[in-house]
Amino acid sequence: MEKLRLPSPCVVVLVGPGASGKSTWAAERFGAELIVSSDRLRALVGAGEDDIAASTAAFALLEEVVKQRIGRQLTTVIDTLGLDRDRRLRWLELAREAGMPCVAVGFDTSPEECRRRNRERSKRIPADVLTSQLRSWTAVKKELPTEGYDDVLQPTALRVVPTAFVESAAAAARQSETPTGLRFGLQLSSYTHKGGRAGMAEWIREVASRAEAVGFDAIYVMDHFRQIPQVGRAWEDFLESWTTLGYLAACTTRVRLGTLVSGITYRNVAHLGKIAATLDVLSGGRAVCGIGLAWFEAEHKAYGWPFPPVSERYALLEDALQLLPALWGPGNKPFRGKVLDAPDTTCYPRPLQEHLPILVGGSGRRTIRLAGRLADAVNVFGDTAQVRDKADWLRKVSSRPVELTHLSTTLVGRDQRDLDGLVQKLRPRNVDPARYAASVNAGTVDDQIGRFRELSEAGVAEVMISLPDLETLDAVGEVISAFRV
């Protein structure tokens, strides 16, 4: 049975009489660190979970823990009777203030079953107390739908997942029933590995070989000269992009090869055109020329390059999008643009591809408009709704057949257990596992099939993914195979 999916982070309020199954249900579905239990807190401040005299202190502590967790936007499962309306509404208000979804789970277990379970306990709830709770529940279950929760659920199979996967089960089903094609590119964003510099060549050859074997259509590399802060530290090993692509051309036979993307300020544009044409010839016609505005100012300063204002970089990018095809075409006619001047556009050998594709990186409307006029593809970021908006904008500003591609970090586990292990292994020490999972789009094979189907439906022709753990390549291959139609 497909599990109901709740977005992470969220607040889950368990409501029901004693012995109705709340704690057992919660323990089977949530990590212990997510559950705030009045019984466990009673044991913490008293002589044990059944120390009724410690209840007041336990509930005061529960309120503070719930407040702190919700304030930090951590998924919180509140495991107590939940029969006190004022308390429930206070938790709901905290969730609303934090911008977190809040659901109630009602445990409508029959009085007979609750009493039977209670009799089997070593520490029983007094019969009159349980009877009082059962009476209260009769009224409470009518109140819950009126209190304003995002949903009132019955105890069922569920998962708390990053927002990107809340609707992915239905999309995965659509992909199974009516498959659609989608291209996949692997972005290499880090060269840190156990073999160090001495083992770098063999390591990257092995990665490329495995990527090709599991079905990737392309391999892309970042065009930087030091590691970017979003990925690692400046002093980590980082290979020059176009040199690396030349090596990958010899290591592979099928995948397309390109930069994602080359900063337009890094090289003389005519020289960049010569480099890309050479790669296309030596790779057998597999080059993709990715270019963008460039954004990493610290890198420019470190290497002594000028970092022009945005308007000047846009002018440079616009000229480049026209100069590069001129270089790759026949003849040697001069090019004079707004800021670029190439008196002789001789570039032989010409690319093997009749049309070497140019991909522009950038999600802004101005960039998309420019790509719509002069490029073959534009690479964007964002969730499905944001991508759909960008696709709509691209259609408005371009009558040409320009592809939309999408880049995201992606962590793939074969199943939930495997995924949980990967998140725990890879997350930075001080980062909440759920927050890390959301940042890397951590999902199972089926989750990812659904997410990529949604992106395809939004207008994406190719997804480029950066893997936090390259050991997951085989699992990614299972995702890719679902889109081979």
* Neighbouring C-beta atoms of residue 209, cutoff 10 Å: 13
Spatial CB neighbours of 482, under 8 Å, sequence gap ≥ 6: 175, 176, 179, 449
Last residue of a domain, one of 113, 131, 156: 156
pLDDT at 442: 98
Q: Do 125 and 257 share a domain, yes or no? A: no
Long-range contacts from 298-305, C-beta under 8 angstroms, 24+ separation: 299/224, 299/225, 299/226, 300/265, 302/225, 302/226, 303/225, 305/265, 305/266
The CATH number that applies at residue 394 is: 3.20.20.30
Q: How does DSSP classify residue 443?
A: E
163 domain residue, yes or no: no
342 pLDDT higher than 60: yes
248 pLDDT higher than 60: yes
232 domain residue, yes or no: yes
Task: Give the largest Cα separation in the chain, rounded.
Answer: 96
Q: Could you tell me which of 217, 256, 193, 189 has the C-alpha nearest to residue 466?
A: 189
Beta-sheet strands, E only, within 362-409? 377-380, 403-409
Q: Do 139 and 177 share a domain, yes or no? A: no
Residue bearing the bigger pLDDT, 59 or 123? 59
pLDDT at 2: 64
Query: What is the per-residue pLDDT across 354-402, written as a single tens digit (0 to 9) for each?
Result: 999 999 999 999 999 999 999 999 999 999 999 999 999 999 999 999 9
- In total, the chain counts a number of residues equal to 485
At residue 432, φ and ψ (nearest 5 deg) are: -55, 130
Query: What is the per-residue pLDDT across 252-272, written as a single tens digit (0 to 9) for each?
Result: 999 999 999 999 999 999 999
Query: What is the per-residue pLDDT across 30-43, written as a single tens digit (0 to 9) for each?
Result: 989 999 999 999 99
Range of the domain at 430: 168-481
Q: What's the average model confidence in pLDDT over 156-173?
A: 94
What is the pTM (predicted TM-score) of this model? 0.92
State the average pLDDT for the chain. Answer: 96
pLDDT at 52: 82
- pLDDT band (50, 70, 90) for residue 331: confident
Q: Do 335 and 398 share a domain, yes or no? A: yes
246 domain residue, yes or no: yes
Q: Do 368 and 438 share a domain, yes or no? A: yes
454 pLDDT higher than 70: yes
CA distance from start to end of the chain: 27
The CATH number that applies at residue 43 is: 3.40.50.300
Question: How far apart, in whole angstroms, are the C-alpha atoms of residue 63 and residue 60?
Answer: 5
Pairing mode of beta strands 403-409, 287-292: unpaired
Exposed, middle or buried, 468 (CB in 10 Å: 0-12/13-18/19+)?
buried
Query: What is the per-residue pLDDT across 214-232, written as a single tens digit (0 to 9) for each?
Result: 999 999 999 999 999 999 9
Q: What's the average model confidence in pLDDT over 182-186?
A: 98
Spatial CB neighbours of 413, under 8 Å, sequence gap ≥ 6: 419, 420, 421, 422, 442, 443, 444, 445, 472, 475
Last residue of a domain, one of 136, 156, 176: 156
Q: Do 197 and 130 share a domain, yes or no? A: no
pLDDT at 385: 96
Contact (CB, 8 A) for 390 and 421: no
306 domain residue, yes or no: yes
Q: Do 85 and 185 share a domain, yes or no? A: no
325 pLDDT higher than 80: yes
Exposed, middle or buried, 96 (CB in 10 Å: 0-12/13-18/19+)?
middle
304 domain residue, yes or no: yes
Question: How far apart, in whole angstroms, are the C-alpha atoms of residue 259 and residue 263?
Answer: 9
Q: What's the average model confidence in pLDDT over 300-317?
A: 96
1 pLDDT higher than 60: no
Q: Do 145 and 279 share a domain, yes or no? A: no
Total domain count for the chain?
2
- pLDDT band (50, 70, 90) for residue 199: very high
At residue 61, φ and ψ (nearest 5 deg) are: -70, -40
